[in-house]
Amino acid sequence: MAFVENSINPYDVALQQFNRAAANLREIDDNILNYMRYPRREFTVNFPVRMDDGSTKMFTGYRVHHSTVLGPSKGGIRYDMHVSMDEVRALAMWMSWKCSLVGLPYGGAKGGVIVDPRVISVGEKERLTRRYASELIPLISPHSDVPAPDMGTDGQTMAWIMDTYSMTMGYSVPAIVTGKPLMIGGSEGRKQATGRGVVTVMMEAMRRAGITDFGKVRVAVQGFGNVGSHAAYYAHENGFKVVALTDIHGGIYNANGLHIPSVMEHQTIYGTIVGFPGADSITNAELLEIECDVLVPAALENQITGHNANNIKAKFIIEGANGPTTPEADDILNDKGVLVVPDILANAGGVIVSYFEWVQDLQAFFWTEDEVFRKMDPFLTRAYETVTRTAEERGIDMRTAAQVTAIKRVADALKTRGIYP
Q: How far apart are CA 114 and CA 305, in angstroms?
A: 25
Amino acid at the residue 206: M
Task: Reply yes or no on whether 74 is catalytic.
Answer: no
Three-state secondary structure along the chain?
A: CCCCCCCCCHHHHHHHHHHHHHCCCCCCCHHHHHHHCCCCEEEEEEEEEECCCCCEEEEEEEEEECCCCCCCEEEEEEEECCCCHHHHHHHHHHHHHHHHHCCCCCEEEEEEEECCCCCCCHHHHHHHHHHHHHHHCCCCECCCEEEEECCCCCHHHHHHHHHHHHHHHCCCCHHHCCCCCHHHCCCCCHHHHHHHHHHHHHHHHHHHCCCCCHHHCEEEEECCCHHHHHHHHHHHHCCCEEEEEEECCEEEECCCCCCHHHHHHHHHHHCCCCCCCCCEEECHHHHHCCCCCEEEECCCCCCECCCCHHHCCCCEEECCCCCCECHHHHHHHHHHCCEEECHHHHCCHHHHHHHHHHHHHHHCCCCCHHHHHHHHHHHHHHHHHHHHHHHHHHCCCHHHHHHHHHHHHHHHHHHHHCCCC
Q: How far apart are CA 351 and CA 75, in angstroms?
A: 8
Burial status of residue 365 (CB atoms within 10 A of its CB: 0-12, 13-18, 19 or more): exposed
Q: How far is CA 125 from the centre of its chain?
A: 22
Q: Considering 74, 98, 110, 191, which one is annotated as catalytic? A: 110
- Catalytic residue set: 110
